Amino acid sequence: MANRNDLSPRSLLAQAMHYIDKETGAVVPPIHTSTTYARDADYELTGDYVYSRYGNPTDTPVERLIARLEDGAEARLFASGLAAATAVFETLSTGDHVVAPKVMYHGLQDWLRRIVEKRAVEVDFVDPRDLDAVSAAMRPGQTKILWVEPAANPTWDVVDVAACAEIAHAAGATVGVDSTVAPPVTTRALSLGADIVFHSATKYLNGHSDVLGGVLITKAEDAFWEDIKVVRAKLGAVMGPHEVWLLLRGMRTLSVRFERHSENALRIASHFEGHPKIERVLYPGLPSHPGHDIAKRQMTNGYGGMMSICVVGGADEARKVAATCNLFIPATSLGGVESLIEHRATVEGPHSLVPKNLLRLSVGIEDADDLIADLEQALERMN
Ligand SMILES: Cc1ncc(COP(=O)(O)O)c(C=O)c1O
């Protein structure tokens, strides 16, 4: 039998880290609903838990599994992706400086703009593909965080995480990576130089569009991490135990789901590249994608299901394609087993920099031929 310390991510996931309940032999971890934990006759705690806002026994196996998959020291679950990501920036003080991407998940970008206004934290938005721009933005001693996405949502421009981390570390900054679209079965951002990895667990980790959650994983249990844990406990941005249990259940099939997402997306991207109704296909898995070589280094086990297509025409044509799909569901979010299509510029609003003819696809695990046929018929009806 394989040594349990050497188990691959596939085995760790499928067996929830080889879980067997010591008392009952159950192979599925239980849901602990208690919010509080008893003390003994000397008023000492009887176990590791005090009160569920600080941590609870349903979270622990899931956090350990995610930390192990990412090769991190510790992980903490949060009530949503944004609750986790904003906890990182809640540690900042007035006058601190952040460098973040121009193209990134818009919800977090909105929040970064808000802390600029409300707290006098300074943020520079740069194109992190341009390493000179990243270097120039760093203010040694003042820049506390460099935040990047390995594949920027929704253009899927590929960012060289290791090169960015080297620049940020030389300036004394902490590197946070939003690896939501690149789960640890394909990318381990800590090994690329990140200090903190973030996932919206709502997406690939859970994979079934039925749980909101977020997670942070740290490379080191340092003062910055301790501060993040205080933010989590004091703001109370924790997941409920039923959601955590569902997340673990979803994660047990992550490796097979991600393989199918990746296979399907590559089929669709290859099929529609050069299509007369499509101006551009944006998918890092395509050898023609400008960031393909970096993506190949960073995404070692598939490029995932996220891609975008820019249709010939503008916003009206793009929205019409989304509306006439029969299988792709016109909805936001990503990483679920069902395929979604969305007109990103509409969702992001008037400040969006996203091309108006761009449709973001979250390719699910359906039959690739059915998905291709669905897009073909929608493109056919465009004009
Ligand atoms: C890349 C990325 N990061 C963060 C988030 C925020 O996560 P949540 O919706 O779980 O708060 C999202 C959600 O769409 C996302 O796509």
From residue 213, give the alpha-carbon distance in Å to each of 75, 83, 109, 245, 281: 13, 8, 19, 11, 30
Q: What residues have CB less than 8 Å from 18, skipping those under 6 apart?
A: 4, 7, 11, 12
pLDDT bin (cut points 50, 70, 90) of residue 380 is very high
Structure tokens given for 295: 């993506």
Residue 247 scores a pLDDT above 90:
yes
Q: Mean pLDDT over residues 203-216, rounded?
A: 98
- Ligand 1 center to 107 CA (angstroms): 7
E runs forming strands in 214-305: 214-218, 278-282
In 302-357 the beta strands, taken as DSSP E runs, fall at 306-311, 329-330, 340-343
Residue 30 one-letter amino acid: P
pLDDT digits (tens, 9 = 90+) for 114-135: 999 898 999 999 999 999 999 9
155 Cβ inside 6 Å of ligand 1: no
pLDDT in tens, 133-150: 999 999 999 999 999 999
Q: Which CATH class is domain 4-251?
A: alpha beta
105 CB within 6 A, ligand 1: yes
Nearest partner of 175 among 100, 105, 68, 87, judged by Cα: 100
Calculate how far, in angstroms, residue 13's C-alpha sits from the geometric centre of ligand 1: 22
Q: Where in the chain is the domain with CATH 3.40.640.10?
A: 4-251
Of the chain, the percentage scoring pLDDT greater than 90 comes to: 94
Does residue 156 line the site of ligand 1, with CB under 6 A?
Answer: no
Report the half-sphere exposure of 110 (CA within 13 A, side-chain side).
9
Q: Which two tokens stand for residue 306?
A: 């996220």
Let me know if 105 is a catalytic residue.
Answer: yes
> Which is the catalytic residue, given 49, 105, 204, 303?
105
pLDDT score at 223 = 98
Per-residue pLDDT tens over the stretch 9-29: 999 999 999 999 999 999 999
SS3 149: coil
- When the pLDDT of each residue in the chain is averaged and rounded to a whole number, the result is 96
Q: Does the C-beta of 107 come closer than 6 Å to ligand 1?
A: yes
Is 329 close to ligand 1, i.e. is its CB under 6 Å away?
Answer: no
pLDDT at residue 283, rounded to an integer: 98
Residue whose Cα lies nearest atom 14 of ligand 1: it is 333
Does the pLDDT value for residue 1 go beyond 70?
no
- Mean pLDDT along residues 212-216: 98
| CATH number, domain 254-380 | 3.90.1150.10
Q: From the candidates 10, 19, 53, 139, which is the catalytic residue?
A: 53
Residues of the chain with CATH 3.90.1150.10: 254-380
CA of 45 to the centre of ligand 1 (A): 37
pLDDT score for 382: 85
Residue 285 near ligand 1, beta carbon < 6 Å: no
Q: Could you report the per-residue pLDDT of 295-344, keeping only the tens digit for each?
A: 999 999 999 999 999 999 999 999 999 999 999 999 999 999 999 999 99
Instruction: Report, in angstroms and rounded to the nearest whole number, the Rg of the chain calculated over CA atoms.
Output: 21
- Please check the confidence at residue 70 and state whether its pLDDT lies above 90: yes
**What is the average per-residue pLDDT within 55-62?**
96
Name the residue of 77, 82, 206 to mutate for ligand 1: max ligand atoms within 8 A of Cβ.
Answer: 82
Would you give the DSSP letter of residue 45? B
Mean pLDDT confidence for 260-274: 98
316 assigned to active site: no
Out of 76, 129, 188, 203, the active site residue is 203
pLDDT tens-digit map of 153-184: 999 999 999 999 999 999 999 999 999 999 99
The predicted-structure confidence for 78-116, as pLDDT tens digits, reads as follows 999 999 999 999 999 999 999 999 999 999 999 999 999
Look at residue 4 and tell me whether its pLDDT is greater than 80.
Answer: no
Structure tokens at 103: 């193209």
Question: Does 203 participate in catalysis according to the annotation?
Answer: yes
